[in-house]
């Protein structure tokens, strides 16, 4: 049974210019977002960082030494024999960082001994570029990839890079890569790499192609929390020589394979704007200024020459930068009080703008007046030199529960969560406006629902309810376009990701489909949009309050500069009933279109086995047609040709 609603549009009342930065995403070094996400490298821990296995079982014992003792995880020993072979994570002789993998054969037995890594997805007919950096004593080394072998006849006594291309005969879902030798003496492995030859500047072409169908207007990188201990200069130059390290933000080993140059290359492939977050945790203003010069300086500058030497003559022209990330939080590297942050912001901003005065700098803010009246103190302390103030907010927050609520209990809380977000943004703006003259616009640069994602993967099962949340949240940003200049979902891939990626597949979440519609179909200015619809009471969940009267329909609208096309975004929150909506006070003409994100029920979500349970459907809506029909649990983007409107 349908329900009825009205949407009244006033194209002459403009709410604000819609900034391109409303349609972005975060890309952070965490979990399988970058590595084993968009980056095409197959090997894990290719630089042999970190710890090995000490013993079998929970504690040490005389007979408990692990057969792969001395082999760093996730590598394992190939043909271990404690009496004949010694495996060593060598901290004396190494190629990069402070560690290599050594295989010492004490008593040859005619067989091969070495290290191996399983779990590689190898596709039939795919050409793989294989690279190993070795140091030895003249022995032959054998490298295998799946069903293929490669023989290096004589390993030199100093570090040498050896490269070849291998093509496996058949598809292997659990392929193995190994490096071994059979001669008495030492073989050191500095690093190794297996990457499909058909990569796109190091990135997976299938992942790039999927994201390009949305084409977020910008990507914010490298975090997030990760940014607060990231030293960019260690992430440029020869990838094999870049030192890895244990990231203190997420306690994960960072190989430094994806740095500034690789991130810019990804943005160029996607035709999206790169936005960077500087390290205010363990960094310095001087380090930040050098990064600005590396990205934006001419080839006559010191850092510009370094960029050119790394293969990039033309400047990257990164114009928007975040000065720190969540410094208010005790989880953040470089956590500090608000007044100290404001002082540091001015120091960093001065150093960065001395290199490039045109920078758009975004400072750290908080929701409402949390964290000791942070916004008040920071806005006052930065003395009008902050171009925008950042706000992060995650909805519901049951991820730390031992058992998050079942999905069927979260439908209404998820669709209601956008209401809380809108209220939070209004209160934040009220506080910022009280203390800034003029107040800095808001950059709402991290948001999402956060229900069950746990480390190290932080996977979330985003379904139809999340799509409705995203639609209503984006509507809230559009209706506040005069003071919200940025919006970015967290995160792009896998970790609370818009895109889910496995070694063999990539698919879109319903949230991604909604953002695809909002980004593709949009005008340059937001216009007045009033909704009258039935309401529903929704339950509390996690940190989200209950609502007595949540409207079943949510909407916003933008218009192009010519005044000839209106883009109306509509969310029908009802899980079962279609909405019949009268769109009032505009003069429709010609053939409109309705693009809908819709699924096979209110709990629908896309998976690797069923990537099209939620899809975008399109149909025409001619001017002579009647009311707008929006199916249940649907986000619709309606493209309406109208008679030209004039500015108010």
Residue 533: predicted pLDDT: 98
Residue 55: phi, psi to the nearest 5?
-155, 165
* The token pair that represents 374 in the structure block: 């942070």
Residues 6+ apart with CB under 8 A from 30: 223, 224, 225, 226, 249, 250, 252, 458, 491, 495
Supply angle C-alpha 221, 215, 592, rounded to 5.
Answer: 145
Residues 6+ apart with CB under 8 A from 626: none
* The token pair that represents 326 in the structure block: 């969540």
Residue 175: phi, psi to the nearest 5?
-70, 160
pTM for the whole structure? 0.96
Residue 565: predicted pLDDT: 97
Residue 647: predicted pLDDT: 44
Distance, C-alpha 385 to centroid of its chain: 28
| Residue 134 Cα distances to 99, 103, 156, 159, 581, angstroms | 13, 11, 8, 6, 68
Residues 6+ apart with CB under 8 A from 449: 394, 395, 396, 414, 417, 460, 462, 466, 469
Query: Which SS3 state, helix, strand or coil, does residue 372 take?
Result: helix
| Residue 515 Cα distances to 38, 210, 266, 410, 518, angstroms | 19, 13, 19, 21, 5
Q: What is the mean pLDDT of each run of 10 residues along the chain (648 residues)?
A: 97 96 98 98 97 83 86 97 95 96 97 98 97 98 97 98 97 97 98 98 98 98 98 98 96 97 98 98 98 97 98 98 98 97 98 98 97 97 97 97 94 98 98 96 98 95 98 98 98 97 97 98 98 98 97 98 96 98 93 96 97 97 93 98 64
Distance CA 133, CA 70 (A): 19
Residue 617: predicted pLDDT: 97
Structural domains present in the chain: 3-40+200-235+255-273+391-641 (2.60.40.1180), 76-196 (2.60.120.260)
């Amino acid at each position: 049974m349908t329900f009825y609603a009205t949407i009244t549009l006033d194209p002459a009342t403009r709410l604000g210019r819609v900034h391109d930065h409303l349609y972005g995403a975060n890309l952070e070094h965490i979990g399988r977002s970058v590595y084993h996400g968009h980056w095409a490298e197959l090997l894990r821990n290719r630089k042999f960082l970190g710890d090995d296995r000490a013993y079998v079982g929970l504690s040490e014992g005389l007979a408990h030494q692990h057969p792969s003792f001395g082999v760093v995880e996730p590598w394992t020993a190939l043909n271990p024999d404690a009496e004949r072979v010694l495996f060593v994570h060598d901290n004396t002789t190494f190629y990069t960082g402070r560690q290599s993998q050594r295989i010492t054969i004490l008593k040859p037995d005619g067989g091969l001994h070495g290290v191996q890594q399983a779990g590689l997805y190898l596709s039939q007919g795919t050409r793989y570029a294989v690279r190993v950096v070795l140091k030895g004593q003249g022995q032959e080394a054998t490298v295998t990839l799946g069903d293929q072998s490669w023989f290096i006849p004589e390993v030199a006594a100093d570090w040498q890079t050896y490269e070849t291309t291998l093509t496996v005969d058949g598809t292997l879902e659990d392929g193995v890569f190994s490096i071994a030798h059979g001669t008495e003496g030492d073989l050191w492995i500095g690093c190794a790499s297996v990457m499909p030859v058909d990569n796109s500047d190091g990135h997976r072409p299938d992942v790039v192609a999927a994201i390009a169908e949305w084409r977020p207007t910008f990507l914010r990188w490298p975090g997030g929390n990760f940014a607060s201990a990231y030293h960019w200069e260690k992430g440029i130059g020869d990838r094999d020589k870049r030192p890895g390290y244990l990231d203190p933000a997420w306690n994960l080993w960072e190989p430094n394979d994806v740095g500034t140059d690789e991130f810019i290359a990804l943005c160029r492939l996607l035709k999206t704007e790169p936005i960077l977050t500087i390290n205010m945790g363990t960094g310095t203003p001087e380090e930040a200024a050098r990064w600005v010069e590396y990205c934006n300086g001419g080839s006559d500058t010191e850092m510009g020459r370094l960029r050119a030497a790394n293969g990039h003559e033309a400047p990257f022209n990164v114009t928007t930068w975040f000065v720190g990330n969540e410094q208010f939080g005790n989880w953040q590297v470089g956590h500090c009080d608000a007044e100290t942050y404001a002082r540091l912001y001015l120091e960093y901003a001065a150093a960065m703008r001395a290199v490039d005065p045109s920078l758009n700098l975004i400072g750290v803010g908080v929701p409402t007046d949390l964290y000791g009246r942070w916004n008040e103190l920071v806005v006052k302390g930065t003395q009008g030199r902050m171009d925008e103030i950042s706000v992060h907010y995650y909805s519901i927050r049951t991820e730390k529960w031992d058992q998050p609520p079942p999905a069927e209990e979260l439908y209404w809380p998820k669709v209601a969560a956008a209401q809380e977000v809108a209220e939070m943004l209004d209160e934040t703006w009220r506080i910022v406006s009280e203390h800034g003259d003029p107040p800095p616009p808001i950059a709402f640069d991290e948001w999402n629902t956060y229900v069950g994602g746990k480390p190290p993967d932080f996977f979330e099962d985003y379904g139809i309810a999340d799509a409705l949340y995203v639609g209503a949240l984006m509507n809230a940003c559009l209706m506040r376009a005069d003071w919200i200049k940025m919006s970015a979902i967290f995160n792009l891939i896998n970790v609370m990701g818009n895109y889910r990626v496995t070694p063999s597949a990539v698919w879109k979440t319903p949230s991604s489909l909604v953002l695809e519609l909002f980004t593709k179909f949009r005008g340059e200015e937001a216009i007045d949009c009033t909704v009258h619809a039935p309401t529903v009471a929704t339950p509390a969940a996690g940190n989200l309050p209950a609502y007595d009267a949540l409207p079943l329909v949510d909407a916003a609208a933008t218009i192009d500069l010519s005044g000839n096309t209106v883009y109306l975004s509509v969310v029908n929150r009802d899980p079962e009933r279609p909405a019949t909506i009268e769109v009032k006070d505009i003069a429709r003409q010609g053939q409109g279109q309705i693009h809908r994100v819709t699924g096979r029920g209110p709990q629908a979500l896309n998976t690797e086995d069923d990537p099209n349970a939620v899809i975008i459907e399109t149909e025409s809506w001619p001017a002579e047609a009647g009311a707008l029909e929006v199916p249940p649990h649907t986000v619709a983007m309606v493209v309406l040709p109208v008679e030209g409107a004039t500015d108010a």
